[in-house]
Amino acid sequence: MAMVLPIFFSQIVGHQTALRLLRRAVATGDVAHAYLITGMAGVGKHSVAHAFAAALTCLTPTPEGEACGECDSCRRLLHETHPEIHTIVPYSEQTLIWQLWDGHNVPREAKAHQVGVIGRTINFAPSFGKRTVYILTRADTLTEAAANSLLKTVEEPPPYVVFLLLAPMPEDVIETIRSRCQWVPLYPVNTDTIREWLITQHGIETQLARRCALISQGCPGKAWSLASQPQALKLWDALADLAFTVSEAQAPAPALLLAERLRSLATVEISEEGEPSVEASGKSKNPTRGALLLAMDALCAWFRDALWIACGGDPGGIVYQGDEQRLSRAASSMGVERLMRALDTVLDVRRAVEGNANVQLATEVLMMRLLIP
């Protein structure tokens, strides 16, 4: 079940500082030509960008800088037929130059709506809304050629154009693009706030909402993804078994088998925070990006819990509630130093996966490093 992206800032959970900045821009008309919205996967980048795009294109925004929800522009956005809000998602894990401008080695399987999105629309002034908005959902995946082709356009677009670039961290976007954008950082949301949001706005059962909010580590989209996709929680639980197996292993011999097990678990289709997915061609039995990143998060949470217990922390502060016995055993067998190394290893490999590293190599390196005593 997909999460419907909001068109009102008031529908967004958390991020009040960022929303005040964006509301003020709409209310005063002092809108930058490009914004870089950053934050962890699931924290709400797409929701914020979508609501901002709605307000930017709205014909009669409120004095507080909200979309009105009633004009022709807002109605078109509600029905997902707005011709002047363009969302560009990666194609096969990269954002390529032909997606922005036509005529650059377009693959035969590409669909018409994926090709030359900016080139075929940017010179036409908006006819339904106030502005034309381009949302690049993974600006960190822009190839060098694609990024370079954007430089002049992002710096001096037509007066009616606004670019919204989304990325995990500012450093993930090349400096020449980054320096041309106004930065809008999004930070983790309070766990209790997320729990209440799941219960009141989405009708999630209290215990499930509590668990998903705790697991989400401050990311509402991740909490919703877990609560609405049974396969996501099953993967999360399966990774606890895998992490425990790693903690019990005595030698690096099973590393390749464990890596294969990880890849097989990560073949389920999982939406990342209700975000637009990567443009792909068909289904496969290969690990999916969403599942792999969730798997890394699960491993990180499990080893973090074991480290918490190893350091004498209150069991009430762990994510894997109910798994205290195995976590205590891992805390004893691995020790603080090895658990800290395990956390660093998982985070390193997660960043590599986000950067489109070879999945087989990344998972094998992960397990080999985790099994070092």
What pLDDT does 102 receive? 77
What pLDDT does 80 receive? 86
pLDDT at residue 335 is higher than 90: yes
Name which residue leads in pLDDT, 38 or 41. 38
What pLDDT does 104 receive? 67
Supply the pTM of this predicted model: 0.84
What pLDDT does 276 receive? 43
pLDDT at residue 268 is higher than 80: no
HEC secondary structure over 108-147: CCCCHHHCCCCCCCCCCCCCCCCCEEEEECCHHHECHHHH
Dig out the tokens for 83 from the structure. Answer: 């011709």
Residues 291, 268 contacting (CB under 8 angstroms)? yes
Cα distance between residue 161 and residue 277, in whole Å:
24
Domains and CATH numbers, the chain: 9-185 (3.40.50.300), 229-370 (no CATH)
Q: Could you please report the per-residue DSSP string of 67-122? A: --S-SHHHHHHHTT--TTEEEE--BTTBB-HHHHSSSS---TT--GGGSSTTTTTT
Q: Could you please report the per-residue DSSP string of 279-314? A: B-SS--SSPPHHHHHHHHHHHHHHHHHHHHHHTT--
Which of 177-181, 273-277, 300-304 is least confident? 273-277
Q: What is the dihedral of CA 110, 111, 115, 121, to 10 degrees?
A: 180
Cα distance between residue 151 and residue 165, in whole Å:
13
What pLDDT does 69 receive? 94
pLDDT at residue 281 is higher than 70: no
CA angle centred on 241, ends 235 and 244, rounded to 5°: 140
pLDDT at residue 325 is higher than 90: yes
The pLDDT-based confidence of 252 (bands split at 50, 70, 90) is: low
Calculate mean pLDDT across residues 342-364. 90
| Of the candidates 329, 364, 339, 322, the residue with the CA atom closest to the CA atom of residue 244 | 329
Number of Cβ within a 10 Å radius of residue 119? 17
Name which residue leads in pLDDT, 317 or 342. 342
Q: State the greatest distance between any 2 C-alpha atoms of the chain, in Å, as a whole number.
A: 66
Number of Cβ within a 10 Å radius of residue 60? 12
Percent of the chain with pLDDT over 90: 67
The pLDDT-based confidence of 373 (bands split at 50, 70, 90) is: confident
Q: Which of 114-128, 149-163, 349-363 is most confident?
A: 149-163
pLDDT at residue 280 is higher than 50: no
Cα distance between residue 174 and residue 172, in whole Å:
7
pLDDT at residue 298 is higher than 50: yes
Calculate mean pLDDT across residues 90-97. 86
Instruction: Write the pLDDT tens digit of every residue in 211-246.
Output: 899 888 899 998 998 898 888 888 888 999 999 999
